[in-house]
Amino acid sequence: MYDAVPQPLELELRDGPVTNRDATSSPDLTDIKETTLAQIYEGMFLLDNAVVREDWNTAKSIVTSTLEKHGGTIHTARRWDERRLSYPIKGKNRATFLLAYYEIPAENIPAMRRDFELNVSVLRSLELLVDAIPKGETELHSSETAEDFIVPTPPDDDHIEFVEEPERYYREDRRDSRDDRGDRGDRGGSDRGAPEGAKDDKGKEDKGKEAKAKEEPAKEEPASKGTDDAPAAATDDKTAEEAVKASEES
């Protein structure tokens, strides 16, 4: 990878020492830069099973054409697996995974990613920089390109079925629906839903009532305290006298 980097001695032979700024202006060095930037990438693409069910080659071409559009050179591209996803992505439970190894200029990668994100058929993508293509990958790729290769049809349960939510139970509905019980009537000003002005008035009224209620028992208590025992004793005496009189008369 680093063999293409020019040696300092060669650079000094030209007009003065070459800096990073000069590197872009020099045609020779830009060539070198381009060659060094094209590195091997590994891409994992999640394809929609609906597209795969129609035709695998069409689904595969969605990825390969996008890569080629951005100046990529595809070394291998094969169906890795068809799996259930751990969590739904773009409303899908299952996806077909396409594994590709390709070279692409580094400056085109953001645009390529954006294209994949906007594509509805590609649920998600992952691009990684790798040192080399793993062993056995080219053989698997060539086996897929063979005519007798059959792509198994993905199962149908890839789409999430949304269950309609039951109607929400609102507190207001509960207040309105008193069935046959009729109106509840006034609850003595302690209603939390009363308007602010009414609440204040009721509060004042309540305070007045409470004050009166406090005063009344205070007035009654001293009278009652003194007379509570006395009238009871008096009535007992009267009844005793009457009983004695009645017995004498009899």
H-helix segments, 19-168: 20-25, 27-37, 49-54, 56-69, 109-118, 137-145
Cβ at position 97, least distance to another protein in Å: 7
80 binds another protein (CB under 8 A): yes
Cβ at position 87, least distance to another protein in Å: 6
Give the number of other Cβ atoms within 10 Å of residue 58's Cβ. 11
**Bridge-based pairing state of the strands 39-47 and 73-89:** unpaired
104 binds another protein (CB under 8 A): no
Cβ at position 2, least distance to another protein in Å: 23
Nearer to another protein, 22 or 137 (CB): 137
97 binds another protein (CB under 8 A): yes
- 160-189 residues near another protein, rule: CB under 8 A: none
Nearer to another protein, 29 or 116 (CB): 116
- 120-149 residues near another protein, rule: CB under 8 A: 124, 126, 128
Residues with Cβ within 8 Å of residue 115, at least 6 apart in sequence: 66, 69, 70
What is the DSSP-derived secondary structure letter of residue 108? G
Return the H-helix or E-strand segment holding 204.
Answer: helix 196-249
For residues 104 and 72, the answer to whether their CB atoms sit within 8 Å is: yes
230 binds another protein (CB under 8 A): no
Nearer to another protein, 22 or 144 (CB): 144
Nearer to another protein, 18 or 47 (CB): 47
Nearer to another protein, 86 or 250 (CB): 86
207 binds another protein (CB under 8 A): no
Candidates 18, 29, 46, 104: give the one binding another protein (CB under 8 A): 46
**Bridge-based pairing state of the strands 92-104 and 122-129:** unpaired
Cβ-in-10-Å burial (0-12, 13-18, 19+) of 108 comes to: middle
89 binds another protein (CB under 8 A): yes
What is the DSSP-derived secondary structure letter of residue 173? H
The binding site for another protein (CB under 8 A) comprises 44, 46, 80, 83, 85-87, 89, 95, 97, 99, 124, 126, 128
